[in-house]
Amino acid sequence: MVIGAGDSGFEESLHLMKFATGVTIVARSDEIKASQILQDKVAEKAPMRVVTNRAVEELLVEDGALAGVRLKDRASGEVETHTPDGVFVFIGLRPNAGFLPEEVVTDARGFVRTDDTFATSMTGLYSAGDVRVGSTKQAVAAAGEGTGAAIAIRRYLQSIGEAYPTDHLGSDD
């Protein structure tokens, strides 16, 4: 059983199907967040199924091992018990930004706030990609943001007169 119906949950489910006889993906709401291409792949691969609108109530444990999963149907309130061989949890991302000093402003979840030049609240510190507030959490966007940040950093270094070799970055005109 995979808990979480985003890209990570769907990708992991497809991977698990190489070893499992079946995989159930549990979605908390009616909305599946995974990309359509992953949904199509899962739909093609029996026996994989997606159950929607279910909240995990409890993981049942016996003798230190997983014995069952209680899922609550969020529409009817009915609770059902499943007995999968294993549970894999893919719900949400936590930004790996704990090492940053307190001065660096983040949102309540720890994502780093920047302005539109990717500058953080700390002079000389820039942030790009998934860790940034407002990032679209896509690889191509992260790469683009990295480029934007590199250009902004070059401007910053030029502004403070830092003798940093920037010729290889080309022109940003």
Ligand X SMILES: Cc1cc2nc3c(=O)[nH]c(=O)nc-3n(C[C@H](O)[C@H](O)[C@H](O)COP(=O)(O)OP(=O)(O)OC[C@H]3O[C@@H](n4cnc5c(N)ncnc54)[C@H](O)[C@@H]3O)c2cc1C
CA distances from 35 to 28, 111, 148, 169 (A): 16, 23, 26, 34
How far apart (Å, rounded) are the C-alpha atoms in residues 148 and 67? 50
SS3 60: strand
Give the span between the Cα atoms of 15 and 144, in whole angstroms: 29
**Residue 73 sits in the site that holds ligand X (CB under 6 A):** no
Minimum distance, C-beta of residue 133 to ligand X, in the bound complex (Å): 13
CB-CB contact of 7 with 35 (8 Å): yes
Q: Return the residue of 125, 142, 150, 157 that touches ligand X, per CB under 6 A.
A: 142
Number of residues forming the site for ligand X (CB under 6 A): 13
| Part of the chain binding ligand X (CB under 6 A), chosen from 41-49, 60-68, 79-87, 132-140 | 132-140
Interface residues for ligand X in 78-117 (CB under 6 A)?
96, 99
CB atoms closer than 10 angstroms to residue 84: 16
Secondary structure letter of residue 113 according to DSSP: P
CB atoms within 10 A of CB 35: 13
| Distance in Å, CB of 99 to ligand X, minimum | 5
Contact flag: residue 39 with ligand X (CB under 6 A): no
- The closest of 113, 89, 111 to 13, measured between CA atoms, is 89
Q: What is the smallest separation between the CB atom of 96 and ligand X, expressed in angstroms?
A: 4
147 lies in the site for ligand X, by CB under 6 A: no
- Binds ligand X (CB under 6 A): choice among 129, 149, 152, 153: 129
Question: Which residue, 56 or 142, has its beta carbon nearer to ligand X?
Answer: 142
Q: Kindly identify the residues of this chain, within the stretch 9-38, that bind ligand X according to CB under 6 A.
A: 11
Among 16, 60, 72, 130, binds ligand X (CB under 6 A): 130
**Site residues (vs ligand X, CB under 6 A):** 7-8, 11, 96, 99, 129-131, 137-140, 142
